[in-house]
Amino acid sequence: MDDYLRDAAFGGNPGADVAKAAMGTPRQRWLAAVVLGGQGRYAAATTLLTELRHTADPVLASLAASTLASQRRQVGGHAAARRLDGEALARLAGVEPVADDPDCVDAAGAFTDALTGLAADAIGVGGPARRLHVVAADTVERLGGTEGHRWRSAVRLDWVRAEIELAAGRPAEALVPAERAVAVATAAGAVRHRVKSRMVLAAALANLHDVVSKERAEALLECDLHHNEALGLTPLVWPCALLLGELRPDGAPGWLERAKGVLSCVLLRADPVARSLAAASVWVP
């Protein structure tokens, strides 16, 4: 079961059925929640994560809080996510940041997830995102760097770095971390991380406003839109559709309707808090 869940959460089978894991060990339930969140099954994921936030294992409790924070950000709830990422960091007080897991499901990974999450939250609420990202990156380097088995921390850091540059109107500076995230996720065989990395790269390319970059962005988004739909990764479908609408203004109304349609399906499977956050967010159509 552990190998099956690992492959679903961090490998080549992100669309897997993980219903049986809801009765498994705490770590299996956390892995299942990661998969469910990636599939846009927010209500089911939240049920598991809410329980795990109060587990006696501080590392698992921290991972649960930061995972729920990530899912709140996906529906535009950056302020709510910030509280959860703060909780994730607080749960690690006094914990030795050991790095001993191939997918960063360890104390060092939990520290990095919380710090990287706080930087991502700051992008949405206007906080010191760049400074928080530096702290997260420095912490990762101190804990052993992002080479080899620290791939997940490396990819998440590069997502946020690219998003910071995009928010600052510096798309050219977003290209390097976005390209690197694609390469690292691809090398790790992490399908869900790869397609999200490609979406971040497409966003950077789209903002360069030259013909070649625009065409490359469109190609990436069209490919990922089909892959994400086939894999059931609905939280990545609607942002792809919105980006395609920006790149193709003549068809923008159709892409917007497609994004809204997919999002409405996601929110039907979301918990009440997620639906409320999405309704109030300026980031969600």
pLDDT digits (tens, 9 = 90+) for 72-119: 999 999 999 999 999 999 999 999 988 889 899 999 999 999 999 999
pLDDT band at 66 (very low <50, low <70, confident <90, very high): very high
Question: Which helix or strand (DSSP H or E) is residue 180 part of?
Answer: helix 171-188
184-212 pLDDT, tens digit each: 999 999 999 999 999 999 999 999 989 99
119-159 pLDDT, tens digit each: 999 999 988 999 999 998 888 787 765 554 589 999 999 99
* Residue 26 shares a structural domain with residue 64: no
- Which residues have C-beta within 8 Å of that of residue 175, sequence separation ≥ 6? 162, 201, 204, 205
Share of the chain above pLDDT 90, in %: 84
Mean pLDDT of 33-41: 97
Mean pLDDT of 31-42: 97
Phi and psi based region of residue 220 (left: phi greater than 0; alpha: psi -120 to 50; beta: remaining) = alpha
In a domain, 160, yes or no: no
* Residue 41 shares a structural domain with residue 66: no
In a domain, 12, yes or no: yes
- pLDDT of amino acid 140: 79
* 161/236 Cα distance (integer angstroms): 19
Look at residues 87, 114, 145 and tell me which one is the last residue of a structural domain.
145
pLDDT band at 285 (very low <50, low <70, confident <90, very high): confident
* Residue 2 shares a structural domain with residue 43: yes
State the chain's mean pLDDT as an integer: 94
* 204/182 Cα distance (integer angstroms): 13
pTM for the whole structure: 0.95
- pLDDT of amino acid 129: 94
Domain count, the chain: 2
- Which residues have C-beta within 8 Å of that of residue 54, sequence separation ≥ 6? 61
In a domain, 61, yes or no: yes
Domain that holds residue 73: 57-145
**Residue 264: how many other CB atoms lie within 10 Å:** 11
b/e 91-124 (16+ beta carbons within 10 angstroms → b):
bbeeeebebeeebbbbbbbbbbbbbbbbbbbbbb
In a domain, 2, yes or no: yes
224-252 pLDDT, tens digit each: 998 899 999 999 999 999 999 999 999 99
State whether residue 170 is helix, strand or coil.
coil
